[in-house]
Amino acid sequence: MRLTGEPSNEQIDDYNDKETPKKRKTIYLIIGALVLIGAVSFFLLKPNMMPSDYVGTTEEPGIVSKKVF
């Protein structure tokens, strides 16, 4: 079934490795920027992902480090 007004694959500029170098560079820049944003946000949020070693509060400490015996 062929729709009227729809271009065929051969009529599309980007089909079969026929894209322009400008479009290819734009895609590479977008991918690079997204990877960079992901890496920066990961390293900024990484300290917040680590749980604190201290268990308990000052009123009720959770773990006593002294040996009883």
pTM of the predicted model over 0.85: no
- pLDDT of 37: 97
Confidence (pLDDT) at 6: 82
Q: How many Å apart are CA 69 and CA 67, to the nearest integer?
A: 6
At residue 36, the pLDDT reads 98
Per-residue pLDDT of the chain in tens (69 residues, 90 and over written 9): 566 778 887 777 777 777 888 988 999 999 999 999 999 998 888 776 666 666 667 777 666 666 655
- Cα radius of gyration (the chain): 28
Structure token pair of residue 40:
């920066």
pLDDT at 57: 73
